[in-house]
Amino acid sequence: MRVEDAFVEYEEDDPKFFPEIFELNIISGGCHLYGYLLTPDKRIHGPYPTIIMSHGFPGYTTNNDLELALMRMGCVVIHVNHRGAWGSEGNYLFTNLTDDLIAIAKWAHNAAIADQYQIDSEKIFLVGHSMGGQTILNAAKDLPFIKGVVAMAAYDIGAAFRYKMEKDLFLMIETEGQCLKLTSASDVYENALLNQPELSVLSRYEELVKHNVLLVEAAFDTVAPPEKMLKPLAEKLQAANANISYESIKSNHSFVGQRMKLTKLVGAWIEKTQG
C-alpha cells in the first residue's frame, strides 16, 4: 500500500481486476449488523491490510471519502453500522458499541473470511471518529491480534461526566439520536451514566500499550474538546512508553474542511505501521 495512491485512480477499470463492494450482515448480540466491505483493484496483489471503520454518534459525519482513499491505497475496508443505527437490528446503547466492534473484528480475523476477501489477518487496523474513536479504543483492549488503532476526534463518555458536560450529552442523544432505533433518549443517557467508568477511554488504558496507536485531535473541537477527551489518554500512554503518535489538525469536530489532510495523515501512518 502507498499513501501516494490515496487520490489516484487507474486510467480505466479492467473487468478482470475490478475493485468491489460486498454487502455485509454480521451478528452481534443476536442482532444483524448491516454494512459493506470494499476490496481494492486486483492489480494490487493481496493479501491486503484491512481497515475496520467505526462511525460516530449517530453517524451523520461519514468517512466514506477516507474509506475509498484507503481502498485505492490497497486496503480492504469494512464498514458496519452498530446496533440500532442505519438499519441494523437491535436498540442503540453505548455499551453495545464495543461488543459490536469486537464481533466485527473477530469476524474479519476468522481464517475462512480472511481467505475469502484476501484479508491479511496480521494487519488489521481499527479506525474510528468521535464516538467511534471511543469504541475502537475500548474494543482494541480485548483484541490482541489488532495491528493498530486510529482514533480521530475521539469522544469520551467518562470525560463528559468528569467535566460536567452531561447536559450536552443528553441534548446530543435527544436531538441527533432521533434517527436511531432506541427505547428513549433517557434510557440511552442512563446507559452512559451507569457505565461511564468502563466506557471511558482511560479505563484499562494499559491494554492499549500493546498496540500501535494514532490519536488525531481537531484543534477547534467543541464537541469532544481534545484537552478533556483525547490528551489525557495520550499523556497516560506516553508515560507508559506506548508506541503512540499524537497529531493535531486545525479543524472542527468533523474535520470537514481538512479531509484530504486527514486522509494523508491516517494513510501515511497505516502505511508505515503495517510494515
Domains of the chain, first to last: 3-8+15-274 (3.40.50.1820)
Confidence of residue 234 (pLDDT cuts 50, 70, 90): very high
- Please say if the pLDDT value at position 2 is more than 90: no
Pseudo-torsion of CA 239, 242, 245, 251, nearest 10°? -60
Pseudo-torsion of CA 267, 45, 149, 225, nearest 10°? 30
DSSP secondary structure of 181-203: --S-HHHHHHHHHHHHHHHSTTT
Q: Which residue, chain included where needed, has cell 482513499?
A: 69
The pLDDT value given to residue 62: 83
The pLDDT value given to residue 59: 74
- Please say if the pLDDT value at position 22 is more than 90: yes
Q: Comparing C-alpha atoms, which of 53, 44, 48, 67 is closest to residue 119?
A: 48
Question: Angle CA(181)–CA(186)–CA(190) in degrees, nearest 5?
Answer: 105
- Please say if the pLDDT value at position 66 is more than 90: yes
Confidence of residue 58 (pLDDT cuts 50, 70, 90): confident
Burial class (CB in 10 A: 0-12, 13-18, 19+), 143: buried
CB of 95 closer than 8 Å to CB of 23: no
How do residues 125-175 score in pLDDT, each as one tens digit?
A: 999 999 999 999 999 999 999 999 999 999 999 999 999 999 999 999 999
